Amino acid sequence: MLESAHSILKNIYGYDEFRGQQQDIINTLIDGNSALVLMPTGGGKSLCYQIPALARPGVGVVVSPLIALMQDQVDALQALGIEGAFINSTLSASEVARTEKALLDGSLDLLYVAPERLLMPRMLDLLRQASISLFAIDEAHCVSQWGHDFRKEYLGLSVLALEFPEVPRIALTATADQRSRAEIASQLGLQSAKKFVASFDRPNIRYHISEAVAGKNDLWRFIEEQHAQDSGIVYCLSRKKVESTAEWLSQQGRTALPYHAGLDSSVRARHQKRFLREEGVIIVATIAFGMGIDKPDVRFVAHLNLPKSMEAYYQETGRAGRDGLPANAWMSYGLQDVISLRNLMQSSDADDQHRNVEFQKLESMLGFAELTACRRHALLGYFSETAPATCGNCDNCISAPETWDATESARKALSCVYRTQQRYGVNYVIDVLLGKESERILQAGHQHVSTYGLGADLSATEWRSIFRQLIGLGLLRSEQESYGVLKLTEQARPVLRGEQSLHLRKASKPALRKSKKRAVALDMNSADKPLWEALRDCRSRLADEQSVPAYIVFSDATLLAILQQRPQSLTEFAAISGVGKAKLQRYADDFLDVIAGFEPNEVAAFE
């Protein structure tokens, strides 16, 4: 069986070696055992169930949460010569009947279904009659009520352990803290399954976070300088901001499409399809977009608001650079983001316990955003992974943030909160510190408190930065049930008493340097670009002919290998990483013709 797995890896997928823990995971499933797998986006999770499904007798059943992506997932399998299919509500009755027949007669290798479909009595009855090689539960964090993408339908998947006890199961996710991991194992009956936790590190992603200063102009500067022709995702907190940002980016000349739950489903499907199948498209979205997106050449993910948790941030930024090539995770945010998120959490239907967990996760996210040390070190530490103190590929490592002794200013801020009876929000307290003579201040009599006007040496923007960092450090909390009223915490006592000094990040931060490791098309010798563009044109033409995304033909990483190695024969082309037998037969001649179109002396001149 192991020899078979290696053979499948080479002949079908075109790779010589397994990565990381893939081989151990695959062996576990081939041996008939179950597994719980935590592996970062782009880490090769799909191979962990596809290869065992091909090596074992029967069909592999994949539970996938989004039916909108199943077509592309099946297209990718068929491009490899794998018999894949899906059953969902987009199919006609006759199409469903044909797929059900293929399931029962054993002619399928992999079948994709949504959890809702799998739990239907008819579907379960069909599966009882079929030969099943394994069950793969993708995006398994959806089963966790403590997670950021909880879906109640996933709770019903516990039926698989009861109905099919002899069939191995594999649950896969890119993000889950210790609490969520335990819940996934419990809910899916995987307590005794072997656990695989790969490194959460995505070394090809560069992290950059700064306070919002010029809003959309900051975003545009980042895109223009580093991703002028690249595909990317921009996340916003509200639907209104999604639509205004998409419209604004379109006015600047980019193809930018909105995506949020308030849009008609046909519009969402059309925009998602364009993003997956066209090059250079930017999708502007709420968190409703992204789960299961397999597009490997997303070169950047940008956030115009603070995500609600470290898990959400990691999951969303992880959609950049799935192909392993350099990518950017860029974010700008403000204190209002924290207030808005807290309001959303407070008004949710969740019980107090869940709300408290959500608040704690938000505080962790804010603390991460305000960090002055290596972001990668802190991000990996959050997921209980030890990492070097510096990474050299985040904003804080590339350009150390400027800090200052903010002890006295912090004492003024904390004291002002106390002097105004801990009954007011950030903006009001800042107005008192600045000595403003507003009607509200005069009526409250706060022009007489000792901290009135004591902060006139700093601007309102600088004070907002201080308050944001004090909240992030846990010295203050913003109580949303009391309309954002600031309250002192126990951690504030030593600072107020002068027993502890405090160094904070300066409000203004140096602009992000241009990355030397940018998207592949921009990070090559100028002499290589004509052949690169010709290879991309060939890929686009073949993709259009088959009505599939360009990356299904070849990923950017494989295309780059073709550019660098310039194969001259089928044998040389077959040696390219990512070229299996089916793709060799289907595409090699077209790409070899492109390479041949560049005269040998011309190619030599490029080298």
DSSP characters for 11-28? III--SS--TTHHHHHHH
Which of the residue ranges 51-65, 166-180, 303-317, 528-542 would you say has the lowest mean pLDDT?
A: 166-180
Residue 92, burial from CB neighbour count under 10 angstroms (0-12, 13-18, 19+): exposed
Grouping H, G, I as helix, E, B as strand and the rest as coil, residue 461 is helix
Q: Is the pLDDT of residue 336 over 90?
A: no
Give pLDDT tens digits for 17-41: 998 899 999 999 999 999 999 988 7
The size of the chain, in residues, is 607
Name the band, by pLDDT with cuts 50, 70 and 90, for residue 136. very high
The arithmetic mean of pLDDT across residues 368-391, rounded, is 87
Residues near 17 by Cβ (< 8 Å), separated by ≥ 6?
Answer: 9
With CA atoms as reference, report the closest residue to 58 among 103, 121, 95, 27: 103
Beta bridge partners of 404: 504
Asked whether 87 and 111 are in contact (CB, 8 A), the reply is yes
Residue 515: the pLDDT is 42
d(CA 201, CA 42) in angstroms, rounded, equals: 11
Share of the chain above pLDDT 70, in %: 91
- Please state, in angstroms and rounded to a whole number, the distance separating the CA atoms of residues 263 and 271: 10
Task: Measure the CA–CA gap between 343 and 348, rounded to whole angstroms.
Answer: 9
- Give residue 513's pLDDT: 42
**Beta carbons of 41 and 172 less than 8 angstroms apart:** no
| pLDDT, average across residues 203-220 | 88
- Percentage of residues in the chain having pLDDT higher than 90: 55
- Among residues 23, 113, 5, 131, the alpha carbon closest in space to that of 64 is found at 113
| pLDDT tens digits along 62-119 | 998 877 778 888 999 999 999 999 998 888 999 999 999 999 999 999 999 999 999 9
Q: How far apart are CA 343 and CA 480, in angstroms?
A: 6
Tokens 């997106």, located at residue: 293
Q: Is the pLDDT of residue 281 over 80?
A: yes
How far apart are alpha carbons 100 and 86 in whole angstroms? 10
pLDDT of 258 higher than 90:
yes
Has residue 351 got a pLDDT over 80?
Answer: no
Q: Strand pairing partners for 210?
A: 332
**CA 236, CA 238: separation in Å to the nearest integer?**
6
Contact 293, 306 (CB under 8 A): no
Q: Which amino acid is at 489?
A: T
Contact criterion met (CB below 8 Å) for 281 and 229: no
Residue 234 dihedral angles phi and psi, to the nearest 5°: -115, 120
| Domains of the chain, first to last | 2-197 (3.40.50.300), 205-333 (3.40.50.300), 403-505 (1.10.10.10), 520-606 (1.10.150.80)
More confidently predicted of 156 and 3: 156
Q: What is the pLDDT of residue 484?
A: 67
* Per-residue pLDDT, 433: 96
For the question of whether the overall pTM of this predicted structure is more than 0.85, the answer is: no
pLDDT in tens, 104-129: 999 999 999 999 999 999 999 999 99
Each as own residue / partner, the long-range contacts of residues 45-50 (CB below 8 Å, 24 or more positions apart, any chain) are: 45/138, 45/172, 45/174, 46/294, 47/9, 47/13, 47/18, 47/22, 48/22, 48/170, 48/172, 49/134, 49/136, 49/170, 49/172, 50/77, 50/82, 50/110
Q: What is the pLDDT of residue 470?
A: 86
Confidence class of residue 145 from pLDDT cuts 50, 70 and 90? low
Which residue, 357, 279, 350, 307, is CA-closest to 549? 279
In the structure encoding, which two tokens stand for residue 353, read together? 């316990």
* pLDDT at residue 149, rounded to an integer: 62
The count of other CB atoms within 10 Å of the CB of residue 163 is 11
Nearest by Cα to 334 from 469, 443, 220: 469
Task: Provide the pLDDT for residue 315.
Answer: 86
Q: For residues 21, 10, 202 and 558, what is the CA-based torsion angle, rounded to 10 degrees?
A: 180
pLDDT of residue 106: 92
For the cut 50, the answer to whether the pLDDT of residue 602 exceeds it is no
Position 520 scores a pLDDT of 35
* In the predicted structure, residue 592 carries a pLDDT above the cut 60: yes
C-alpha dist (Å) from residue 94 to 97, 99, 100, 159: 5, 9, 10, 28
Block residue for tokens 């580093």: 226
What are the two backbone dihedrals, phi and then psi, of residue 529, each rounded to the nearest 5 degrees? -65, -40
Distances (CA, A) of 182 to 176, 188, 359: 9, 10, 21
What dihedral angle (degrees, nearest 10) is formed by the CA atoms of 353, 469, 402, 378? -10
Band the pLDDT of 410: cuts 50, 70, 90: very high
The predicted structure's pLDDT at residue 208 = 95
pLDDT at 518: 41
Tell me the three-class secondary structure of 344-381, residue by residue. Answer: HHHCCCCCHHHHHHHHHHHHHHHHHHCCCCCHHHHHHH
- Strands 205-211 and 300-303: what pairing? unpaired
1-15 pLDDT tens trace: 556 899 999 999 999
Residue predicted with more confidence, 585 or 174: 585
Is the pLDDT at 279 greater than 60? The verdict is yes
**Which residue from 168, 161, 164, 87 is spatially nearest to 127, judged by alpha carbons?**
164
483-531 per-position pLDDT tens digit: 568 899 998 999 999 999 998 888 654 444 444 444 334 456 777 888 9
Cα dihedral across residues 134, 137, 143, 146: positive or negative: positive
Residue 603: the pLDDT is: 44
CA distance linking residue 321 with residue 555, whole number of Å: 11
